[in-house]
Amino acid sequence: MTNVPADRPMRSGPRSNARSTLASIGFAIIALSALGIGAYAIIGYTARPLGAGVHPEMRAAYEAHPVGILTHIFCSSLAIILGPVQFIPSIRRRWPLAHRWMGRVYLGVGVLIGGLAALYISPFAFGGIVSTVGFATLSIAWLYTGARAFASARSRDFAAHRRWMIRNFSLTLAAVTIRLGLGLGFATGLSFEIVYPVLTWLCWIPNLVLAEWIIRREGHDPRRASPTA
C-alpha cells in the first residue's frame, strides 16, 4: 500500500506538487489492482466451475468445502472493491452517509464474514502448516484491525479510525500482493510448491510495515493534525 489522497489541499510548491501527483498515481494503481482482483474473484467464481484456474490440490479442497471458500471469496471481494472508495476524501465529505454505509458493508460483510470464512478454510490451504498458520494469522490480524477500526469510528475517534483502516486495508491488499508474488515467482522459475507457502506470509507483512510507515508519516504532517471522518 502506498500513500492515500490527502484530506486537505497540498501546500503549493514544486516538491509538494510532485509528491501529491505521485501519491495520486500510487493510489490509482492500488485502486485499479484492487478492483481487478475483486472482478477476477467474482467473475471467476460465478462463471467458471469451482477452482477451475487453481492447482488441482486446491481445487479438491474447494470442492470439499464449497460454502467456506465461496463465502470467503464473495464477501472478501466486497471489501477489496469498496476499500479504495472509502479513502477518497471528496466522497467522505460530500456523502458521509454513503461512507458510513459502505464502511458497514466493508467491515461487517467483507472483513467480518470474509475473515471468519478465511479462518475456517486456512487449515485446508495449499502448502501445509506454513500456509495454514500464515493465512490464519492474516485472518486474525484482518479481523482485529477491522474491529479496532469499527470501535474507533463508533467512539468518534476519527484519527484512530483512519489509522486502523489504513492497517486493515493494507491487509485486504494481501489478495493483490499474493498474486503479484506468484507472478514474480513464475517469472523467476521458482516452483509453485516453494513460492506459495512463503507468500502466505510475504503477502501481508510488508503491507503492514508500509501501512505503519504511512501512518507515521501522516503523524508528522501538520496538514493531517485533525483528520475528518
- Sequence-separated (6 or more) residues with CB below 8 Å from residue 27: 2, 3, 4, 5, 84, 87
Q: Is the distance from CB of 31 to CB of 84 less than 8 angstroms?
A: yes
- Candidates 23-31, 120-128, 158-166, 220-228: pick the segment binding ligand HEM (CB under 6 A): 120-128
Degrees, nearest 5: CA angle 22-28-30: 105
Name the burial class of residue 42, with classes exposed (0-12), middle (13-18) and buried (19+) by CB atoms within 10 angstroms of its CB: middle
Residue 149 within binding range of ligand HEM, rule CB under 6 A = no
What single DSSP character describes residue 223?
G
From candidates 61, 112, 153, 195, binder to ligand HEM by CB under 6 A: 61
Each residue 65-94 as x (binds ligand HEM by CB under 6 A) or -, in order, gives -------xx--xx-xx--------------
Residue 8, all three cell numbers = 486537505
Residue 182, all three cell numbers = 506468484
- Candidates 14-22, 99-107, 119-127, 184-192: pick the segment binding ligand HEM (CB under 6 A): 119-127
The minimum distance between CB 8 and ligand HEM, in angstroms, equals 30
Give CA–CA dist 133/14, Å, rounded: 46
From candidates 33, 172, 177, 207, binder to ligand HEM by CB under 6 A: 172
Which one, 6 or 119, has the nearer CB to ligand HEM? Answer: 119
Residues near ligand HEM, by CB under 6 A: 37-38, 41, 54, 58, 61, 72-73, 76-77, 79-80, 118, 121-122, 125-126, 131, 135, 138-139, 142, 171-172, 174-175
